[in-house]
């Protein structure tokens, strides 16, 4: 498998294995990693991970597990045994859930990166208030990032807007995987806490998750090249 130095992770949010592989076949594992999320995995199962590994890609399995500790530990183990590069769970599942997942990977010698989702990049203050969290997103992200670090996570999913603060509190090595990446000319869609690729890297993101700005572009490879150019010039 090709280990890339690129921070880019392309989100393969497609409704079929064929559509996902059609995009993957235009991409190069030396230029990006790929993310498999809930829609694609629910439709195609482990076959998609196998197919992407077969093409040389490192895979982030973005299933955002959130359940009781024993169940999440088992799910994380199952993901890691498929050889994925990264897997995630929801930090709001709490310390015992995260610790159980960490311990399960360690007990089996599995080196898959394990990261925790803090506050979804689609959420803003009002969304948090409606689920009983009376905080600014940045404040809640910081709280969950510290808990994630203390629970043995390798990093978090957050918006790039929070990456600098997390680097300060949890260290530069702590992974900051940031969706909500939008080139200046792209629509925000359902995302709320967005940043451009260059500003995201400057803020301390370690990895940038990009979906629709590339996959729904009229010319996806041109859109990807424009993002790479923006990063090279920053």
Q: Which residues are annotated as a binding site?
A: 13, 35, 62-71, 121, 182, 191, 211-212
Q: Which stretch binds ligand LLZGTKA7 (CB under 6 A): 65-73, 95-103, 207-215, 220-228?
A: 207-215
Of 20, 91, 175, 210, the residue at the interface with ligand LLZGTKA7 (CB under 6 A) is 210
> CB neighbours (10 Å) of residue 210?
25
> CB neighbours (10 Å) of residue 21?
18
Of 209, 223, 224, 227, the residue at the interface with ligand LLZGTKA7 (CB under 6 A) is 209
Residue 157 three-state SS: strand
Closest CA to 176 of 208, 199, 206: 206
Residue 136 three-state SS: coil
Residue 160 Cβ vs ligand LLZGTKA7, minimum distance, rounded to whole Å: 11
Q: What are phi and psi of 146, to 5 degrees?
A: -65, -40
Of 8, 13, 21, 52, the residue at the interface with ligand LLZGTKA7 (CB under 6 A) is 13
Residues from 87 through 146 that contact ligand LLZGTKA7 (CB under 6 A): 117, 120-121
Residue 198 Cβ vs ligand LLZGTKA7, minimum distance, rounded to whole Å: 16
By CB under 6 A, residue 191 contacts ligand LLZGTKA7: yes
Of 7, 37, 69, 197, the residue at the interface with ligand LLZGTKA7 (CB under 6 A) is 37
By CB under 6 A, residue 66 contacts ligand LLZGTKA7: no
Tell me the CA distances in angstroms from 31 to 5, 26, 118, one per residue in order: 8, 11, 27
Kindly calculate the radius of gyration of the chain based on its CA atoms and give it in whole angstroms: 17
Q: Which helix (H) or strand (E) holds 130?
A: helix 125-130
Q: In this complex, which beta carbon is closest to ligand LLZGTKA7, that of residue 107 or of residue 187?
A: 187
The residue count for binding ligand LLZGTKA7 (CB under 6 A) is 16
The residues carrying an active-site annotation are 64
Closest CA to 195 of 179, 218, 172: 179
Token pair 């629970």 is found at 151
By CB under 6 A, residue 179 contacts ligand LLZGTKA7: yes
Across-strand partners of 176? Answer: 156
Contact predicate 168/141, CB 8 Å: no
Q: What are phi and psi of 45, to 5 degrees?
A: 65, -160
Q: In this complex, which beta carbon is closest to ligand LLZGTKA7, that of residue 32 or of residue 157?
A: 157
Site residues, ligand LLZGTKA7 (CB under 6 A)? 11, 13, 37, 117, 120-121, 157, 179-180, 189, 191, 209-213
């Amino acid at each position: 498998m090709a280990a890339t130095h690129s921070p880019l992770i392309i989100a393969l949010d497609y409704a079929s294995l064929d559509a996902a592989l059609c995009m993957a076949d235009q991409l190069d594992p030396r230029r990006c990693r790929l993310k498999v999320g809930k829609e694609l995995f629910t439709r195609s199962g482990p076959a998609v991970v196998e197919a992407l590994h077969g093409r040389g890609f490192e895979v982030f399995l973005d299933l955002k597990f959130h359940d009781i500790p024993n169940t999440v530990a088992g799910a994380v183990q199952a993901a890691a045994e498929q050889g994925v590069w990264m897997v995630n769970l929801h930090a709001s599942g709490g310390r015992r859930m995260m610790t159980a997942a960490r311990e399960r990977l360690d007990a089996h010698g599995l080196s898959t990166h394990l990261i925790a989702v803090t506050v979804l990049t689609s959420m803003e203050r009002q969304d948090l208030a409606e689920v009983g969290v009376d905080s600014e997103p940045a404040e809640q992200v910081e709280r969950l990032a510290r808990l994630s670090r203390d629970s043995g996570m390798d990093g978090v999913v957050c918006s790039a807007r929070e990456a600098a603060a997390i680097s300060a509190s949890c260290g530069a090595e702590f992974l900051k995987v940031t969706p909500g990446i939008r080139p200046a000319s792209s629509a925000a869609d359902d995302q709320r806490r967005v940043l451009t690729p260059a500003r995201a890297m400057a803020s301390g993101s370690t990895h940038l998750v990009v979906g629709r700005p590339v996959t729904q572009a009229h010319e996806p490879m041109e859109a990807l090249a424009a993002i790479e150019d923006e990063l090279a010039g920053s």
